[in-house]
Amino acid sequence: MSSYRDNLDVSDPYEAHAFFLCEFSCDNCGETMPPPDGVTGCDDASCCRLADQARALRWYVPAPFGPERRSDIQTCYCPECAAKLGFLG
């Protein structure tokens, strides 16, 4: 059993991004967030840890939008670019 939560929720934009792309790499500058210690794959627990770290470090992944709540799971920005682009308050 995992020592970290492993209930991946792909309706969460950060967890969906981690699951489908297995990394957080800024679409503006190309910076890649290093994975948390011990994360070497894309199993559910690793994706949860990766998503939690990205959220804590203020990486930006767009929230679902429109009446159908569509998600753009491929897009993300590092905290610096997200701030420059006006995505962070």
Looking at residue 57, the DSSP 8-state letter turns out to be T
Q: pLDDT averaged over the chain? A: 87
Residue 26 lies in a domain: yes
Asked if residue 38 is part of any domain, the answer here is yes
Q: Which amino acid is at 64?
A: P
> What percentage of the chain exceeds 70 in pLDDT?
89
**Helix, strand, coil shares of the chain as percentages rounded to 5?**
30, 5, 60
- Better-scored residue on pLDDT, 39 or 76: 76
Task: Take residue 57 and report the two structure tokens written for it.
Answer: 């470090």
Domain extent for 55: 13-84
**pLDDT beyond 60 at 31:** yes
Give me the residues paired with residue 60 across strands.
Answer: 77
Residue 3 is assigned to a structural domain of this protein: no
7: in domain = no
pLDDT at 1: 39
Structurally, the chain folds into a number of domains equal to: 1
Residue 46's CB is within 10 A of a number of other CB atoms, namely: 22
* DSSP letter, residue 22: S
Domain-located, residue 2:
no
Note whether residue 1 is domain-resident: no
In a domain, 68, yes or no: yes
- How far is residue 12's CA from residue 85's CA, in Å, rounded to a whole number? 22
> 89 lies in a domain?
no
